[in-house]
Amino acid sequence: KPLFLVENGLGARDEIDANGEINDDYRISYLREHIKAMGDAIEDGIPVIGYTSWGCIDLVSASTGEMSKRYGFVYVDRDDAGQGTLARKRKKSFWWYKKVIASNGEDLA
């Protein structure tokens, strides 16, 4: 039967550095290894027909109402108390994943 992988992602407490960037290399590494494994499965004959990451943008946890554990490629300025500007900022993983999509998973560097 065909396999469609969904909601693959890593929740982490992303921090904005002194330059205003979110360098979430841990998320990139996590996703890279999972996408590589998916490629290996395809080579082994598993009919993988699709893949989606957990979420493209940080979101409020449905179970806890927390915002501090983040999953997205886009940071949202909001804290667990609901405070913040709601401004969005692309994380390093955004640019990496954009490249992965454009290469159909061939470029994981």
Give the pLDDT confidence of 12-34 residue by residue, as tens digits: 999 999 999 999 999 999 999 99
Q: What's the pTM?
A: 0.92
- How much is the pLDDT for 89? 98
**At residue 62, does pLDDT exceed 90?**
no
Length of the chain: 109
- How much is the pLDDT for 91? 98
- As a whole number of angstroms, the distance between CA 58 and CA 37 comes to 25
**What proportion of the chain, given as a percentage, has pLDDT over 90?**
91
Phi, psi of 39 (to 5 degrees): -60, -40
Q: What is the mean pLDDT of residues 87-102?
A: 98
Where are the chain's structural domains?
Answer: 3-102
- As a whole number of angstroms, the distance between CA 53 and CA 104 comes to 14
